[in-house]
Structure 1
């Protein structure tokens, strides 16, 4: 019997069932193409008691993150987002040379490099050996470990309590949400701050962003469910910001319960928006599955018609979310010849399940396709600018989410 990982309830209701797919970051080498692939159910449910949306923990973080294909620094907009955050957090919290900042899931140092540049002592806690090594090479101190209460206590004992703990795009990636939250509390000073960025379930539902449901995202938060999750580890939410990143994210500002004080007005405002959208009941979830099915039908109809007309369609990007979309839609190389990615780690590999080749970005200009399907749709502004050159031969961009959009670009 499936139980809620936050409150233990068995009262879980289906939101959308996306079938069974391979883990989204398990890109295949050429020699693996004739071998079988393991797939796992991808079924989002919501707990009717605590309202945490979640999928079953069928894979472990160790399987996904010990060797990881995602390097944050390959997105220039994401690096800039991190720079602005560091600048604003330093001003908000008065961080200086005597401060200590810890980032959990620090990846390749994309954020902490800006902390280093300001002369602030810092440490990354990153489980992936390969990306952690890249961070150290870039001059960012990095400890290779998964965060747990024990890891948090060890880091605190060696380095002291952190004035700021940053956990961006990781709070959804851990099945032991209670243990992870206790680890955050172990890291942060009694009068310190925790900043968490995580995709907002409200925009996921409203904007049909179902491709962000994949096996390394174990849970999906509203502010209401985040408050309960933070409390499980001794933290209290004091402020929230709504961000455009990843199609719509929350920046949660939390502090230890004993020093938190009253939450800001913005917390109450977002809670009211979630309630109005029906996310504190079941009404807000009932139509999502039907809208997901329409996204699938519309994209497949476009790809089939393009193939019948002799048009060429290739992809841009090989993000994890893209593999949910490709597998759910059943897209194979007959409909999408290949995709490209800026990350050389993925070149010469194939997308999991759908076996679509991943090539360097220069291939698009060489082949001059009729359409480019943009899989990281959340970077629409950045990639529309990067791909403006497809106008030279009359090519067009295709965005599948929140609804099918075919765009003519110009320089």
Structure 2
């Protein structure tokens, strides 16, 4: 990578180099275990002109999303998050029976089903064939397509302008930031609203969430960088919310620049926080790689010492972030016997690179391991409750991020 994909600057500086890994969602079928896997550098850099953090676009979205392993509806908390958002958005935007809502990267209809239930006309735009089919089966109208300015214009011509366009957890997934943003503008009505949720670079850095760096996440946003990205497509930020999702996200409320007006006070407040954290100068990035290295050492030490004591460690979850962590740490089945996942699509497959078997969740209760390494740590509250049965035989939960912690009982933790 030689130039910033947002502003074109050549002033890119290394933040952390995680080596080379396979694509994080390329789970292996058993008959592919003897085949080679392609790996790609995973090197995060930041542009010191616009402060967009980014990795090289080595994998195209078409390669990643033609068939996708992630189904949003398998996370109970995420479905509830979507339901709450729809209820709040109906009030905020004033969505009535004649309104039209479009969600980009609508996945399996986890969010728009709440719009359908309210009798509001809607459309999902989802590039993955398999999850888009699941959405249609659930009664959510879904177009199988990537968003571009042309796609946005075609949808607008056929269905009319959208009063609300939702783009949750997709703004990081597209290498053409400017083209995608122009696509959002093509979809939204001239007096409409755009709501974008994306992980906040501030919490990624502060909470050591380096495992959320993977090839399908092409960029990582501060509010300062998001303002510039939105402007590239004719949108202006009018408000921002700080969310706990994915370890810390921002919800960006934007409107066409012509009607946006002055932003809410919260925008200035978050910009001040980012500036205080040093994210508009290099000082905020320099120690990140050192803290990342400590996560790797601590997790490997724990796994090796457990193995030497004859204790069993298995995983819970097979998220994309988990594959960044496992590959960076060099964890193999001798240290993590298997992991489990609620998504049947992943059962019988193996994690990319590390070749760890993925089994149904019931296997944990059958085997009664000493430790369960929780890979989707962002769902901590949900999973501590779901996995409470592990304590019945004296098992403990292990969380690797932001630092290694072992949950010995429901009310007590030990931090490494």
- Corresponding residue of 1:268: 268
Q: Deviations over 1:123-154 (max 9, x none)?
A: 00000000000000000000000000000000
- Corresponding residue of 1:124: 124
SS of equivalent to 2:237: strand
SS of equivalent to 2:406: strand
Q: Deviations over 1:88-128 (max 9, x none)?
A: 00011111111000000000000000000000000000000
- Corresponding residue of 1:245: 245
SS of equivalent to 1:171: coil
* CA–CA distance in structure 2, aligned partners of residues 94 and 256 of structure 1: 17
Q: Deviations over 1:69-99 (max 9, x none)?
A: 0000000000000000000000111111110
- Corresponding residue of 2:82: 82
* CA–CA distance in structure 2, aligned partners of residues 409 and 258 of structure 1: 55
SS of equivalent to 1:69: coil
Consecutive unaligned residues of structure 2, counting only runs of 5 or more, are: 412-416
Query: Would you say the 8 A contact 1:101–1:122 is kept in 2?
Result: yes
Q: Give 1:153-172 correspondences, 5 Å limit.
A: 153-172=153-172
Query: Would you say the 8 A contact 1:390–1:409 is kept in 2?
Result: no
What is the deviation of 1:2? Answer: 1.5
* CA–CA distance in structure 1, aligned partners of residues 396 and 247 of structure 2: 22
- Corresponding residue of 1:323: 323
* CA–CA distance in structure 2, aligned partners of residues 5 and 143 of structure 1: 27
SS of equivalent to 1:198: strand
* CA–CA distance in structure 1, aligned partners of residues 114 and 225 of structure 2: 31
- Corresponding residue of 1:391: 391
- Corresponding residue of 2:414: none
Question: Does residue 37 of the first structure (1) align with residue 41 of the second (2)?
Answer: no
- Corresponding residue of 1:4: 4
Query: Would you say the 8 A contact 1:238–1:267 is kept in 2?
Result: yes
Q: Deviations over 1:26-84 (max 9, x none)?
A: 00000110000000000000001110000000000000001000000000000000000
Give the alignment's TM-score, normalised by structure 1. 0.99
* CA–CA distance in structure 1, aligned partners of residues 43 and 211 of structure 2: 12
What is the deviation of 1:409? Answer: 3.5
* CA–CA distance in structure 2, aligned partners of residues 156 and 300 of structure 1: 52
* CA–CA distance in structure 2, aligned partners of residues 262 and 2 of structure 1: 35
* CA–CA distance in structure 2, aligned partners of residues 93 and 161 of structure 1: 14
Q: Give 1:56-205 correspondences, 5 Å limit.
A: 56-205=56-205
SS of equivalent to 2:291: helix
How many residues are aligned here?
411
SS of equivalent to 1:402: coil
- Corresponding residue of 2:300: 300
Query: Would you say the 8 A contact 1:182–1:233 is kept in 2?
Result: yes
SS of equivalent to 2:258: helix
- Corresponding residue of 1:375: 375
- Corresponding residue of 1:54: 54
SS of equivalent to 1:291: helix
Q: Deviations over 1:148-181 (max 9, x none)?
A: 0000000000000000000000000000000000
Question: Does residue 218 of the first structure (1) align with residue 218 of the second (2)?
Answer: yes
- Corresponding residue of 1:23: 23
What is the deviation of 1:408? Answer: 1.9
* CA–CA distance in structure 1, aligned partners of residues 52 and 104 of structure 2: 22
SS of equivalent to 1:43: strand
Consecutive unaligned residues of structure 1, counting only runs of 5 or more, are: none
What is the deviation of 1:401? Answer: 0.1
- Corresponding residue of 1:334: 334
Q: Deviations over 1:175-207 (max 9, x none)?
A: 000000000000000000000000000000000
* CA–CA distance in structure 1, aligned partners of residues 337 and 404 of structure 2: 19
